[in-house]
Amino acid sequence: MTNIPANRALLPALAAGFLVFSITLAVAGILDFPTTRGDLSAEQLNRVRDVTRATTDFSKAEAYEAMQGGAATSIDPVHRDIFSQPSANLGLERGENFHLGNALFRKLWVSAPSSTQASDGLGPLFNARSCQSCHIRDGRGHPPEATGAAATSMVLRLARSAATPEEEQAAKDFRALNFPDSTYGKQLQDLAVPGLAAEGKVTVSYVEETVTLAGGETVTLRKPHYGVTDLAYGPLDPTTTLSPRIAPPMIGLGLIEAIPEADILANADPDGKDGTGIRGRPAIVRDHRTGQMALGRFGWKAQNATVRDQVADAFSADIGISTPDRPNPYGDCTSKEPRCLAMPNGVQKRLGDTEAPDPILALVTFYSENLAVPARRKASFPDVLHGKEMFYRSGCAACHTPKFVTRDDIKGSDGKDSPQAFQLIWPYSDFLLHDMGEGLSDGQQVGVASGRDWRTPPLWGIGLTQTVSGQQAYLHDGRARTLTEAILWHGGEAEKARNAFADLSTDDRQALINFLESL
Protein backbone atom coordinates (compact mmCIF):
# COMPACT_ATOMS: atom_id res chain seq x y z
CA MET A 1 0.00 0.00 0.00
CA THR A 2 1.21 3.50 -0.85
CA ASN A 3 0.57 6.22 1.71
CA ILE A 4 1.21 9.77 0.59
CA PRO A 5 2.31 12.31 3.19
CA ALA A 6 0.92 15.82 3.22
CA ASN A 7 3.11 18.17 1.20
CA ARG A 8 2.80 21.60 2.72
CA ALA A 9 5.40 23.02 0.38
CA LEU A 10 3.05 22.58 -2.57
CA LEU A 11 2.96 25.65 -4.81
CA PRO A 12 5.04 27.86 -2.48
CA ALA A 13 4.52 30.77 -4.87
CA LEU A 14 0.88 30.86 -3.76
CA ALA A 15 1.51 30.63 -0.03
CA ALA A 16 1.99 34.35 0.56
CA GLY A 17 -1.75 34.92 0.85
CA PHE A 18 -4.55 36.37 -1.17
CA LEU A 19 -3.76 40.04 -0.53
CA VAL A 20 -0.39 39.80 -2.23
CA PHE A 21 -2.01 38.24 -5.25
CA SER A 22 -4.94 40.65 -5.35
CA ILE A 23 -2.51 43.56 -5.40
CA THR A 24 -0.29 41.92 -8.01
CA LEU A 25 -3.21 40.99 -10.24
CA ALA A 26 -4.82 44.39 -9.89
CA VAL A 27 -1.59 46.05 -10.97
CA ALA A 28 -1.40 43.68 -13.90
CA GLY A 29 -4.96 44.55 -14.84
CA ILE A 30 -6.05 40.94 -14.45
CA LEU A 31 -8.28 41.12 -11.39
CA ASP A 32 -11.34 43.27 -11.91
CA PHE A 33 -14.06 42.09 -9.54
CA PRO A 34 -16.84 44.57 -8.78
CA THR A 35 -16.97 46.04 -5.29
CA THR A 36 -20.60 47.17 -5.54
CA ARG A 37 -23.72 45.78 -7.18
CA GLY A 38 -24.52 47.28 -10.55
CA ASP A 39 -27.84 45.55 -11.04
CA LEU A 40 -29.89 47.53 -8.51
CA SER A 41 -30.98 51.10 -7.88
CA ALA A 42 -29.93 52.86 -4.68
CA GLU A 43 -33.38 52.23 -3.21
CA GLN A 44 -33.19 48.53 -4.06
CA LEU A 45 -29.70 48.28 -2.56
CA ASN A 46 -30.98 49.68 0.72
CA ARG A 47 -33.82 47.15 0.73
CA VAL A 48 -31.38 44.32 0.07
CA ARG A 49 -29.12 45.45 2.91
CA ASP A 50 -32.08 45.55 5.26
CA VAL A 51 -33.41 42.13 4.36
CA THR A 52 -30.01 40.40 4.50
CA ARG A 53 -28.91 41.96 7.79
CA ALA A 54 -28.28 39.32 10.47
CA THR A 55 -31.22 38.94 12.80
CA THR A 56 -31.12 39.57 16.54
CA ASP A 57 -34.69 38.44 17.17
CA PHE A 58 -35.00 34.71 17.80
CA SER A 59 -38.54 34.77 19.13
CA LYS A 60 -40.05 34.05 15.72
CA ALA A 61 -39.06 32.94 12.25
CA GLU A 62 -37.90 35.65 9.86
CA ALA A 63 -40.04 36.65 6.90
CA TYR A 64 -39.74 34.10 4.05
CA GLU A 65 -37.20 32.08 6.05
CA ALA A 66 -38.88 28.77 5.23
CA MET A 67 -38.50 29.45 1.48
CA GLN A 68 -34.76 28.78 1.40
CA GLY A 69 -34.47 29.10 -2.36
CA GLY A 70 -36.85 32.03 -2.77
CA ALA A 71 -39.53 31.49 -5.40
CA ALA A 72 -37.53 28.53 -6.73
CA THR A 73 -38.03 26.59 -3.46
CA SER A 74 -39.66 23.18 -3.72
CA ILE A 75 -42.62 22.79 -1.37
CA ASP A 76 -43.12 19.10 -2.17
CA PRO A 77 -43.61 16.78 0.82
CA VAL A 78 -40.33 15.32 2.06
CA HIS A 79 -39.40 12.03 0.37
CA ARG A 80 -36.18 10.42 -0.76
CA ASP A 81 -36.23 12.22 -4.14
CA ILE A 82 -36.80 15.65 -2.62
CA PHE A 83 -33.40 16.88 -3.95
CA SER A 84 -34.44 15.98 -7.51
CA GLN A 85 -37.27 18.49 -7.90
CA PRO A 86 -37.15 21.36 -10.42
CA SER A 87 -37.12 25.01 -9.42
CA ALA A 88 -40.73 25.82 -8.54
CA ASN A 89 -40.75 28.89 -10.81
CA LEU A 90 -39.22 27.13 -13.83
CA GLY A 91 -42.42 26.93 -15.88
CA LEU A 92 -43.76 24.16 -18.11
CA GLU A 93 -41.85 25.05 -21.27
CA ARG A 94 -38.44 24.99 -19.61
CA GLY A 95 -39.44 21.99 -17.53
CA GLU A 96 -38.96 19.83 -20.63
CA ASN A 97 -35.27 20.75 -20.75
CA PHE A 98 -34.99 20.02 -17.04
CA HIS A 99 -36.34 16.50 -17.55
CA LEU A 100 -34.07 15.94 -20.56
CA GLY A 101 -31.11 17.03 -18.42
CA ASN A 102 -32.28 14.72 -15.66
CA ALA A 103 -32.28 11.77 -18.08
CA LEU A 104 -28.74 12.60 -19.17
CA PHE A 105 -27.64 13.05 -15.54
CA ARG A 106 -28.85 9.51 -14.81
CA LYS A 107 -27.61 8.03 -18.09
CA LEU A 108 -25.25 5.05 -17.84
CA TRP A 109 -22.36 5.47 -20.28
CA VAL A 110 -20.79 2.40 -21.90
CA SER A 111 -17.40 1.62 -23.37
CA ALA A 112 -16.69 2.18 -27.06
CA PRO A 113 -17.37 0.81 -29.58
CA SER A 114 -21.00 0.06 -28.82
CA SER A 115 -24.22 -0.38 -30.75
CA THR A 116 -25.61 2.50 -28.66
CA GLN A 117 -23.33 5.06 -30.26
CA ALA A 118 -24.91 8.00 -28.48
CA SER A 119 -23.98 6.44 -25.13
CA ASP A 120 -20.47 5.13 -25.67
CA GLY A 121 -17.13 6.67 -24.79
CA LEU A 122 -16.95 5.73 -21.10
CA GLY A 123 -13.46 6.12 -19.65
CA PRO A 124 -11.30 4.38 -20.66
CA LEU A 125 -10.42 5.01 -16.98
CA PHE A 126 -13.22 6.29 -14.80
CA ASN A 127 -14.76 6.52 -11.33
CA ALA A 128 -18.46 6.22 -12.23
CA ARG A 129 -20.72 5.44 -15.19
CA SER A 130 -23.19 8.23 -14.51
CA CYS A 131 -23.49 11.51 -12.64
CA GLN A 132 -26.18 9.97 -10.45
CA SER A 133 -23.79 7.21 -9.31
CA CYS A 134 -21.81 9.77 -7.33
CA HIS A 135 -24.56 12.25 -6.44
CA ILE A 136 -26.96 9.74 -4.94
CA ARG A 137 -30.47 10.99 -5.77
CA ASP A 138 -28.78 14.37 -6.33
CA GLY A 139 -27.48 14.30 -2.75
CA ARG A 140 -24.09 13.79 -1.16
CA GLY A 141 -21.77 10.84 -1.53
CA HIS A 142 -19.95 8.83 1.11
CA PRO A 143 -16.59 7.10 1.63
CA PRO A 144 -16.14 3.39 0.83
CA GLU A 145 -18.26 1.31 3.17
CA ALA A 146 -15.77 -1.57 3.48
CA THR A 147 -12.11 -2.31 2.79
CA GLY A 148 -11.65 -2.95 -0.92
CA ALA A 149 -15.10 -1.63 -1.85
CA ALA A 150 -15.39 0.71 -4.83
CA ALA A 151 -15.19 4.33 -3.77
CA THR A 152 -17.78 5.44 -6.41
CA SER A 153 -19.16 8.52 -4.66
CA MET A 154 -15.76 9.55 -3.31
CA VAL A 155 -12.67 10.27 -5.38
CA LEU A 156 -9.03 10.84 -4.56
CA ARG A 157 -7.71 14.04 -6.08
CA LEU A 158 -4.00 13.87 -6.93
CA ALA A 159 -1.72 16.90 -6.98
CA ARG A 160 1.98 17.67 -6.69
CA SER A 161 4.18 20.74 -6.49
CA ALA A 162 5.41 22.69 -9.49
CA ALA A 163 8.44 20.91 -10.92
CA THR A 164 9.63 23.33 -13.62
CA PRO A 165 9.89 27.10 -14.10
CA GLU A 166 7.08 26.83 -16.65
CA GLU A 167 4.81 25.20 -14.07
CA GLU A 168 5.70 27.81 -11.47
CA GLN A 169 4.75 30.53 -13.93
CA ALA A 170 1.49 28.73 -14.77
CA ALA A 171 0.62 28.74 -11.07
CA LYS A 172 1.39 32.44 -10.72
CA ASP A 173 -0.77 33.20 -13.76
CA PHE A 174 -3.62 31.02 -12.44
CA ARG A 175 -3.42 28.91 -15.58
CA ALA A 176 -3.01 25.93 -13.26
CA LEU A 177 -4.36 25.56 -9.72
CA ASN A 178 -2.00 22.65 -9.06
CA PHE A 179 -0.28 19.89 -11.05
CA PRO A 180 -1.30 16.28 -11.71
CA ASP A 181 0.69 13.20 -10.89
CA SER A 182 2.82 12.47 -13.94
CA THR A 183 1.50 8.90 -14.21
CA TYR A 184 -2.00 8.91 -12.74
CA GLY A 185 -3.16 12.41 -13.61
CA LYS A 186 -5.28 14.59 -11.36
CA GLN A 187 -7.57 11.86 -10.02
CA LEU A 188 -7.19 8.18 -9.18
CA GLN A 189 -9.56 6.16 -11.37
CA ASP A 190 -10.50 2.90 -9.65
CA LEU A 191 -12.53 1.55 -12.58
CA ALA A 192 -11.71 0.80 -16.23
CA VAL A 193 -13.34 -0.46 -19.43
CA PRO A 194 -12.89 -4.15 -20.39
CA GLY A 195 -9.34 -4.94 -21.44
CA LEU A 196 -7.75 -2.19 -19.36
CA ALA A 197 -6.52 -2.26 -15.78
CA ALA A 198 -7.92 0.28 -13.34
CA GLU A 199 -5.34 2.62 -11.84
CA GLY A 200 -5.67 1.32 -8.29
CA LYS A 201 -7.91 1.00 -5.27
CA VAL A 202 -8.63 3.48 -2.53
CA THR A 203 -7.98 2.37 1.03
CA VAL A 204 -9.24 4.09 4.15
CA SER A 205 -8.75 3.22 7.79
CA TYR A 206 -9.84 5.05 10.90
CA VAL A 207 -8.39 5.79 14.31
CA GLU A 208 -11.04 6.65 16.86
CA GLU A 209 -10.72 9.33 19.49
CA THR A 210 -13.16 10.35 22.20
CA VAL A 211 -14.19 13.93 22.92
CA THR A 212 -15.92 14.90 26.16
CA LEU A 213 -18.42 17.75 25.99
CA ALA A 214 -19.91 19.93 28.69
CA GLY A 215 -22.25 17.92 30.88
CA GLY A 216 -20.19 14.75 30.44
CA GLU A 217 -21.50 13.67 27.03
CA THR A 218 -18.86 11.82 25.00
CA VAL A 219 -18.58 11.69 21.22
CA THR A 220 -16.35 9.37 19.20
CA LEU A 221 -14.60 10.93 16.23
CA ARG A 222 -12.93 8.84 13.55
CA LYS A 223 -9.72 10.16 12.02
CA PRO A 224 -9.20 8.74 8.53
CA HIS A 225 -5.97 7.60 6.90
CA TYR A 226 -5.96 7.23 3.12
CA GLY A 227 -3.81 5.24 0.78
CA VAL A 228 -3.89 3.34 -2.51
CA THR A 229 -3.19 -0.28 -3.38
CA ASP A 230 -2.81 -2.28 -6.58
CA LEU A 231 -1.26 0.56 -8.56
CA ALA A 232 -1.30 -0.72 -12.14
CA TYR A 233 1.06 1.72 -13.85
CA GLY A 234 3.94 2.17 -11.43
CA PRO A 235 4.44 4.28 -8.32
CA LEU A 236 2.96 7.68 -7.62
CA ASP A 237 5.30 10.65 -7.62
CA PRO A 238 6.66 10.87 -4.05
CA THR A 239 5.46 14.49 -3.83
CA THR A 240 1.90 13.68 -4.92
CA THR A 241 -0.76 14.30 -2.30
CA LEU A 242 -4.07 12.52 -1.92
CA SER A 243 -7.23 14.47 -1.21
CA PRO A 244 -10.44 12.49 -0.67
CA ARG A 245 -13.60 14.27 -1.82
CA ILE A 246 -17.15 12.97 -1.50
CA ALA A 247 -19.74 14.19 -3.99
CA PRO A 248 -21.58 17.27 -2.64
CA PRO A 249 -25.35 17.79 -2.91
CA MET A 250 -26.60 19.27 -6.19
CA ILE A 251 -29.39 21.53 -4.90
CA GLY A 252 -29.33 25.31 -5.33
CA LEU A 253 -26.32 25.52 -7.66
CA GLY A 254 -27.91 28.03 -10.02
CA LEU A 255 -28.81 30.24 -7.06
CA ILE A 256 -25.21 30.14 -5.83
CA GLU A 257 -23.95 31.22 -9.25
CA ALA A 258 -26.48 34.08 -9.17
CA ILE A 259 -25.09 35.63 -5.96
CA PRO A 260 -23.33 38.90 -6.88
CA GLU A 261 -19.55 38.81 -6.63
CA ALA A 262 -19.61 42.04 -4.65
CA ASP A 263 -21.81 40.50 -1.94
CA ILE A 264 -19.48 37.52 -1.52
CA LEU A 265 -16.37 39.73 -1.50
CA ALA A 266 -17.96 42.03 1.08
CA ASN A 267 -17.55 39.25 3.66
CA ALA A 268 -13.87 38.62 2.85
CA ASP A 269 -11.30 39.63 5.46
CA PRO A 270 -8.07 37.93 4.37
CA ASP A 271 -5.79 39.68 6.85
CA GLY A 272 -8.20 39.61 9.79
CA LYS A 273 -8.76 43.34 10.15
CA ASP A 274 -12.06 42.94 12.01
CA GLY A 275 -10.32 41.12 14.86
CA THR A 276 -12.73 38.16 14.98
CA GLY A 277 -10.18 35.61 13.83
CA ILE A 278 -12.33 34.81 10.79
CA ARG A 279 -10.28 35.49 7.65
CA GLY A 280 -12.41 34.47 4.69
CA ARG A 281 -10.61 34.62 1.36
CA PRO A 282 -12.09 34.45 -2.11
CA ALA A 283 -10.96 31.65 -4.41
CA ILE A 284 -9.44 33.06 -7.59
CA VAL A 285 -9.70 30.86 -10.67
CA ARG A 286 -10.04 31.17 -14.42
CA ASP A 287 -13.33 30.59 -16.16
CA HIS A 288 -12.62 27.51 -18.27
CA ARG A 289 -14.48 28.83 -21.29
CA THR A 290 -13.34 32.46 -21.40
CA GLY A 291 -9.97 32.20 -19.69
CA GLN A 292 -10.87 35.29 -17.66
CA MET A 293 -10.21 35.60 -13.94
CA ALA A 294 -13.28 34.62 -11.95
CA LEU A 295 -14.51 34.02 -8.44
CA GLY A 296 -14.47 30.34 -7.51
CA ARG A 297 -17.75 29.13 -6.00
CA PHE A 298 -18.08 25.39 -6.64
CA GLY A 299 -16.20 22.38 -5.35
CA TRP A 300 -14.75 21.69 -1.91
CA LYS A 301 -11.99 24.25 -2.50
CA ALA A 302 -14.06 26.51 -4.76
CA GLN A 303 -11.97 25.49 -7.76
CA ASN A 304 -14.69 26.12 -10.36
CA ALA A 305 -16.38 29.42 -11.17
CA THR A 306 -19.59 28.23 -12.83
CA VAL A 307 -21.98 25.32 -12.79
CA ARG A 308 -20.97 24.54 -16.37
CA ASP A 309 -17.30 24.40 -15.35
CA GLN A 310 -18.19 21.97 -12.58
CA VAL A 311 -20.27 19.76 -14.89
CA ALA A 312 -17.66 19.63 -17.66
CA ASP A 313 -14.92 18.81 -15.16
CA ALA A 314 -16.98 15.95 -13.71
CA PHE A 315 -17.78 14.53 -17.16
CA SER A 316 -14.07 14.45 -17.98
CA ALA A 317 -12.44 13.42 -14.70
CA ASP A 318 -15.14 11.18 -13.19
CA ILE A 319 -16.68 9.48 -16.23
CA GLY A 320 -14.06 10.02 -18.95
CA ILE A 321 -16.56 11.65 -21.32
CA SER A 322 -15.45 14.51 -23.54
CA THR A 323 -17.53 17.66 -23.98
CA PRO A 324 -17.06 20.88 -25.97
CA ASP A 325 -15.46 22.41 -22.86
CA ARG A 326 -13.20 19.38 -22.21
CA PRO A 327 -12.69 17.85 -25.67
CA ASN A 328 -10.13 15.15 -24.77
CA PRO A 329 -11.94 11.80 -25.22
CA TYR A 330 -9.39 10.03 -23.00
CA GLY A 331 -10.27 11.97 -19.87
CA ASP A 332 -7.52 11.80 -17.27
CA CYS A 333 -5.33 9.26 -19.10
CA THR A 334 -1.67 10.29 -19.25
CA SER A 335 1.22 9.57 -21.61
CA LYS A 336 2.49 6.97 -19.11
CA GLU A 337 -0.71 4.99 -19.64
CA PRO A 338 -0.30 4.15 -23.37
CA ARG A 339 -2.83 1.30 -23.37
CA CYS A 340 -5.46 3.73 -22.14
CA LEU A 341 -4.66 6.15 -24.97
CA ALA A 342 -4.86 3.28 -27.49
CA MET A 343 -8.41 2.28 -26.53
CA PRO A 344 -11.36 3.20 -28.79
CA ASN A 345 -13.23 6.37 -27.95
CA GLY A 346 -16.85 7.33 -28.43
CA VAL A 347 -16.53 10.34 -30.75
CA GLN A 348 -19.04 10.01 -33.59
CA LYS A 349 -18.26 12.57 -36.26
CA ARG A 350 -21.84 12.55 -37.49
CA LEU A 351 -22.92 13.67 -33.99
CA GLY A 352 -20.10 16.09 -33.21
CA ASP A 353 -16.46 16.38 -32.22
CA THR A 354 -16.89 15.06 -28.68
CA GLU A 355 -18.53 12.12 -26.91
CA ALA A 356 -21.10 14.43 -25.29
CA PRO A 357 -21.58 17.13 -27.93
CA ASP A 358 -24.02 19.97 -27.64
CA PRO A 359 -26.67 20.04 -26.38
CA ILE A 360 -25.76 17.34 -23.82
CA LEU A 361 -23.47 19.52 -21.71
CA ALA A 362 -25.93 22.42 -21.88
CA LEU A 363 -28.86 20.23 -20.80
CA VAL A 364 -26.99 18.69 -17.85
CA THR A 365 -25.85 22.17 -16.85
CA PHE A 366 -29.43 23.44 -17.02
CA TYR A 367 -30.62 20.53 -14.92
CA SER A 368 -27.87 21.14 -12.36
CA GLU A 369 -28.71 24.84 -12.17
CA ASN A 370 -32.37 24.19 -11.49
CA LEU A 371 -32.45 21.51 -8.82
CA ALA A 372 -34.63 23.11 -6.19
CA VAL A 373 -33.77 23.69 -2.56
CA PRO A 374 -36.48 22.13 -0.35
CA ALA A 375 -38.54 24.28 1.98
CA ARG A 376 -37.57 24.47 5.65
CA ARG A 377 -39.32 22.31 8.20
CA LYS A 378 -40.32 23.58 11.66
CA ALA A 379 -38.73 27.00 11.11
CA SER A 380 -41.04 28.59 13.66
CA PHE A 381 -40.89 25.81 16.30
CA PRO A 382 -39.57 27.06 19.68
CA ASP A 383 -36.79 24.47 19.96
CA VAL A 384 -35.60 25.25 16.40
CA LEU A 385 -35.65 28.99 17.09
CA HIS A 386 -33.66 28.39 20.27
CA GLY A 387 -31.17 26.32 18.26
CA LYS A 388 -30.91 29.12 15.72
CA GLU A 389 -29.99 31.51 18.54
CA MET A 390 -27.30 29.05 19.74
CA PHE A 391 -26.00 28.82 16.15
CA TYR A 392 -25.58 32.60 16.01
CA ARG A 393 -24.22 32.97 19.55
CA SER A 394 -21.68 30.19 19.05
CA GLY A 395 -20.26 32.08 16.07
CA CYS A 396 -21.32 29.64 13.36
CA ALA A 397 -22.95 32.41 11.30
CA ALA A 398 -19.60 34.16 10.95
CA CYS A 399 -18.78 31.80 8.07
CA HIS A 400 -22.16 30.23 7.39
CA THR A 401 -23.66 33.52 6.21
CA PRO A 402 -27.43 32.98 6.37
CA LYS A 403 -28.82 34.90 3.40
CA PHE A 404 -28.21 36.72 0.13
CA VAL A 405 -30.29 38.32 -2.59
CA THR A 406 -29.35 37.15 -6.07
CA ARG A 407 -28.68 39.38 -9.07
CA ASP A 408 -31.61 40.95 -10.87
CA ASP A 409 -30.01 41.04 -14.32
CA ILE A 410 -28.94 37.47 -14.96
CA LYS A 411 -29.96 35.05 -17.69
CA GLY A 412 -30.15 31.30 -17.42
CA SER A 413 -27.72 29.06 -19.28
CA ASP A 414 -30.44 28.74 -21.93
CA GLY A 415 -30.28 32.50 -22.57
CA LYS A 416 -33.73 33.24 -21.13
CA ASP A 417 -34.63 35.21 -18.00
CA SER A 418 -33.31 33.23 -15.07
CA PRO A 419 -35.63 31.74 -12.44
CA GLN A 420 -32.78 32.45 -10.01
CA ALA A 421 -32.93 36.23 -10.56
CA PHE A 422 -33.61 38.56 -7.62
CA GLN A 423 -34.40 35.91 -5.02
CA LEU A 424 -33.91 36.08 -1.26
CA ILE A 425 -32.06 32.83 -0.52
CA TRP A 426 -30.78 31.17 2.66
CA PRO A 427 -27.71 29.04 1.80
CA TYR A 428 -25.86 29.52 5.12
CA SER A 429 -22.46 29.95 3.47
CA ASP A 430 -20.16 32.85 2.64
CA PHE A 431 -18.59 30.83 -0.26
CA LEU A 432 -15.13 31.90 0.91
CA LEU A 433 -12.07 29.86 1.83
CA HIS A 434 -11.25 29.40 5.52
CA ASP A 435 -8.40 27.74 7.39
CA MET A 436 -10.12 24.82 9.11
CA GLY A 437 -7.11 23.62 11.07
CA GLU A 438 -4.66 20.76 10.86
CA GLY A 439 -7.27 18.12 11.69
CA LEU A 440 -9.04 18.67 8.37
CA SER A 441 -5.95 19.41 6.28
CA ASP A 442 -5.38 17.31 3.18
CA GLY A 443 -1.98 18.87 2.46
CA GLN A 444 -3.10 19.75 -1.06
CA GLN A 445 -2.90 23.25 -2.52
CA VAL A 446 -5.61 24.27 -5.00
CA GLY A 447 -4.83 27.73 -6.31
CA VAL A 448 -4.93 30.13 -3.36
CA ALA A 449 -6.40 27.41 -1.12
CA SER A 450 -3.83 25.70 1.07
CA GLY A 451 -4.19 22.19 2.43
CA ARG A 452 -5.98 23.60 5.47
CA ASP A 453 -8.38 25.79 3.47
CA TRP A 454 -11.91 24.76 2.53
CA ARG A 455 -14.85 26.61 1.02
CA THR A 456 -17.68 27.07 3.51
CA PRO A 457 -20.26 24.52 2.33
CA PRO A 458 -23.89 25.66 2.14
CA LEU A 459 -26.09 24.10 4.80
CA TRP A 460 -29.47 24.23 3.07
CA GLY A 461 -30.93 20.74 2.85
CA ILE A 462 -28.41 19.27 5.31
CA GLY A 463 -31.17 17.98 7.59
CA LEU A 464 -32.44 15.74 4.76
CA THR A 465 -29.15 13.90 4.22
CA GLN A 466 -30.34 10.63 5.76
CA THR A 467 -33.62 10.76 3.85
CA VAL A 468 -31.99 11.35 0.47
CA SER A 469 -28.69 9.47 0.70
CA GLY A 470 -29.69 6.67 3.06
CA GLN A 471 -26.88 7.53 5.45
CA GLN A 472 -25.04 10.49 6.93
CA ALA A 473 -21.53 11.46 5.81
CA TYR A 474 -20.33 15.03 6.35
CA LEU A 475 -17.22 17.12 5.65
CA HIS A 476 -15.13 16.80 2.50
CA ASP A 477 -14.30 13.13 3.05
CA GLY A 478 -17.43 11.93 4.82
CA ARG A 479 -15.59 11.13 8.05
CA ALA A 480 -18.31 12.68 10.23
CA ARG A 481 -21.29 10.36 10.77
CA THR A 482 -23.39 12.95 12.58
CA LEU A 483 -23.74 16.72 12.56
CA THR A 484 -22.24 16.80 16.06
CA GLU A 485 -19.12 15.02 14.79
CA ALA A 486 -18.88 17.44 11.86
CA ILE A 487 -18.93 20.45 14.19
CA LEU A 488 -16.33 18.93 16.50
CA TRP A 489 -13.90 18.51 13.59
CA HIS A 490 -13.89 22.28 13.03
CA GLY A 491 -10.55 23.88 13.83
CA GLY A 492 -8.45 26.83 12.73
CA GLU A 493 -10.65 29.85 12.20
CA ALA A 494 -13.68 27.81 13.34
CA GLU A 495 -12.14 26.48 16.55
CA LYS A 496 -13.71 29.20 18.71
CA ALA A 497 -17.17 28.33 17.38
CA ARG A 498 -16.45 24.61 17.81
CA ASN A 499 -15.46 25.15 21.45
CA ALA A 500 -18.52 27.29 22.05
CA PHE A 501 -20.68 24.43 20.79
CA ALA A 502 -18.83 21.91 22.98
CA ASP A 503 -19.35 24.14 26.03
CA LEU A 504 -23.12 24.46 25.56
CA SER A 505 -25.43 22.57 27.85
CA THR A 506 -26.77 19.29 26.52
CA ASP A 507 -30.17 20.85 25.79
CA ASP A 508 -28.65 23.85 24.01
CA ARG A 509 -26.45 21.61 21.84
CA GLN A 510 -29.44 19.49 20.88
CA ALA A 511 -31.41 22.61 20.02
CA LEU A 512 -28.61 23.74 17.70
CA ILE A 513 -28.65 20.32 16.00
CA ASN A 514 -32.44 20.57 15.70
CA PHE A 515 -31.98 23.88 13.92
CA LEU A 516 -29.51 22.36 11.45
CA GLU A 517 -31.88 19.45 10.85
CA SER A 518 -34.62 21.93 9.96
CA LEU A 519 -32.57 23.39 7.09
12: pLDDT confidence band, cut at 50, 70 and 90? very low
Percentage of the residues of the chain whose pLDDT score is greater than 90: 86
- d(CA 449, CA 432) in angstroms, rounded, equals 10
DSSP string, 365-414: HHHHHTBPPBPPSSTT-HHHHHHHHHHHHTTGGGTS---EE--SS-B-TT
129: amino acid identity, one letter: R
Phi, psi of 366 (to 5 degrees): -60, -45
- d(CA 315, CA 312) in angstroms, rounded, equals 5
Compute the average pLDDT of residues 15-25.
38
Average pLDDT of the chain, as a whole number: 92
Point out the least confidently predicted range of 52-56, 241-245, 348-352: 348-352
Domain boundaries, the chain: 12-518
SS3 30: coil
Point out the least confidently predicted range of 13-17, 365-369, 441-445, 475-479: 13-17
Which residues fall within 8 angstroms of residue 55, CB to CB, at 6 or more apart? 62, 392, 402
- d(CA 307, CA 77) in angstroms, rounded, equals 27
Which residues fall within 8 angstroms of residue 175, CB to CB, at 6 or more apart? 286
> What pLDDT, on a 0 to 100 scale, did the predictor assign at position 350?
87
